[in-house]
Amino acid sequence: MKFPLIHLGLALLFSGLLLFSSLAYGQVTGLERSYAQRAAMRAIDLRCGLLQEGPRRALNGFAAQARGAALRAGSSTQKLDQIEGQAQQAMAGKACNDPTILAEAKRVIAAHKGWRSQLTAVYSGMQRSWQVDRSGKDIWRAYQDIGGLTRAGLVTSSSGLSFAVETPDVQAAGARLFLRDANKVGPPSLNRPLTPPPRSGTKVYVAAQRQAAASRSRLEQNPRAGTLFLFSDATTRALLYADPRDTFEIELTSRSGQVTRSLVEVGDFVAAYTFAAEF
């Protein structure tokens, strides 16, 4: 199932309301405007404390999703940062008890309730999608199928949610993740989707734990045969700050020395994480 840019009623969150009449709308696309609206709501919530933690987390996820969509459509990080700054300036003069602002806060709260009631969602990127499942049939909460019956994504752990890779290979001995280092390599090209950066331009993260596979089709079934690699909290944080246009590489090594490489699209990882974390 392909979801719209904003889940449920959030597509109507700012419809018909001129919250950003002070913004310079020339040369701003519809996707960039959507990001500006969410960035502005975040800014006034930060100043006025209009939302509780749940709705605030949801709004952060929606903002990340809007930003990712704009980047994948051709916007630059510099332009979106400028638009976010303009949105914050537009909200600086708004009173916390402004009726329009209070009405929007109520819409966010109502939309969060509906969003939280969902158990599954799909966050589509340019080539791959994040599948989110909060039903609790196993420890997986969000994943991307990366070929060869292998998946990568988020599992529940002692830290909350941790990045993990699971393979049907019971002989798999180790896993490494190669993520673009923005200090070495510039942003990825939209003309070459699902293309990883050169290894010389990446940071390497090594799996911290190895254990038996955990995924299963139903709660009453046993987990499938295979191996699961759990990565550190630092790896998960790095992915949360990764560019939505990025592709990173997973390298699995078997006990026999065989190496298997798979690609993962960052896409709406932040939005998927936010939704998956709503237990």
Whether the Cβ atoms of residue 45 and residue 56 lie closer than 8 Å to each other: yes
86-97 pLDDT, tens per residue? 888 888 888 999
CATH 2.60.40 domain position(s) in the chain: 127-276
Close Cβ partners of 111 (under 8 Å, ≥ 6 residues apart) = 7, 8, 9, 10, 13, 55, 58
**Statement: 127-276 belongs to CATH 2.60.40:** yes
Instruction: Provide, rounded to the nearest whole percent, the portion of the chain with pLDDT above 90.
Output: 74
Phi and psi for 189 in degrees, rounded to 5?
-85, 135
Whether the Cβ atoms of residue 249 and residue 235 lie closer than 8 Å to each other: no
Say whether pTM exceeds 0.85: yes
198-218 pLDDT, tens per residue? 999 999 999 999 999 999 878
In the numeric block, the tokens 């509780």 are attached to 52
Residue type, 252: L
Phi and psi for 65 in degrees, rounded to 5?
-65, -40
User: Is the predicted pLDDT of residue 14 greater than 70, yes or no?
Assistant: no
